[in-house]
Structure 1
Amino acid sequence: MPHLDRDGVSIFYQVAGSGPAILLSHGYSATSRMWDAQVSALSPEYAVVTWDMRGHGQSDSPDDPSAYSEAHTVADMAAILDALGVESAVIGGLSLGGYMSLAFHLAHPDRVRALMLFDTGPGYRNPAGREAWNRTAEARAVAFETRGLEALGPGAEVRIAAHRSARGLALAARGMLAQFDSRIIESLPSIAVPTLVLVGEKDEPFLGATDYMAAKIPGARKVVIPGAGHAANIDQPEAFNRAVREFLASLP
Structure 2
Amino acid sequence: MPYAPSEGARIWYEEAGHGLPLLFIHEFGADHREWEDQVRFFSREYRCLTYAARGYTPSDVPDDPKLYGQDFAVKDAVAVLRHLGIPKAHIVGLSMGGFAAILFGIRHPEMAISLVPAGAGSGSPREEQAAFRAGCQARGDKLIAQGWAGELAEETGHSPTRIQLKKKDPRGWAAYMQRLSEHSGLGSGLTMKHYQGERDSIFDWEAELRRMTVPTLLAVGDEDGPCVATNVWLKSVLPNCGLWLCPRTGHAINLEEPAAFNREVAAFLSTVERGRWTLG
Gaps of 5+ in 2: 163-172, 276-280
* Contact 2:26 2:96 survives alignment (8 Å): yes
Whole-Å separation in 2 of the counterparts to 1:236 and 1:25: 18
1:65 aligns with 2:86: no
Instruction: Give the 5 Å matches for 1:152-191.
Output: 152=153, 153-154=156-157, 155=162, 156=173, 158-161=176-179, 163-182=182-201, 183-191=204-212
Deviations 1:41-100 (A, max 9, x none): 101111111111111232111111101121122111111001111101111201000101
Deviations 1:129-178 (A, max 9, x none): 33222112112202212321222321458525254520111111112112
Q: Name the SS of the counterpart of 2:23 in structure 1.
A: strand
The two structures, once aligned, show a CA RMSD in angstroms of: 2.0
* Contact 2:24 2:93 survives alignment (8 Å): yes
Distance 1:222 1:181, change over 3 A: closer
Aligned partner of 1:138 in structure 2 is 137
Whole-Å separation in 2 of the counterparts to 1:57 and 1:158: 16
Whole-Å separation in 2 of the counterparts to 1:124 and 1:187: 16
Whole-Å separation in 2 of the counterparts to 1:24 and 1:161: 17
- The number of residue pairs the alignment matches comes to 251
Whole-Å separation in 1 of the counterparts to 2:96 and 2:8: 24
TM-score normalised by the chain length of structure 2: 0.83
* Contact 2:216 2:241 survives alignment (8 Å): yes
Q: Name the SS of the counterpart of 1:199 in structure 2.
A: strand
* Contact 2:121 2:226 survives alignment (8 Å): no
1:211 aligns with 2:210: no
Whole-Å separation in 1 of the counterparts to 2:193 and 2:48: 29
Whole-Å separation in 1 of the counterparts to 2:250 and 2:256: 7
Instruction: Give the 5 Å matches for 1:1-252.
Output: 1-7=1-7, 9-121=9-121, 124=124, 126=126, 128-150=127-149, 151-152=152-153, 153-154=156-157, 155=162, 156=173, 158-161=176-179, 163-182=182-201, 183-251=204-272, 252=275
* Contact 2:119 2:227 survives alignment (8 Å): yes
Gaps of 5+ in 1: none
How big is the shift at 1:21?
0.9
Whole-Å separation in 2 of the counterparts to 1:185 and 1:24: 24
TM-score normalised by the chain length of structure 1: 0.92
User: What is the identity percentage for the equivalent residue pairs of Structure 1 and Structure 2?
Assistant: 31
Distance 1:65 1:201, change over 3 A: same
* Contact 1:123 1:179 survives alignment (8 Å): no
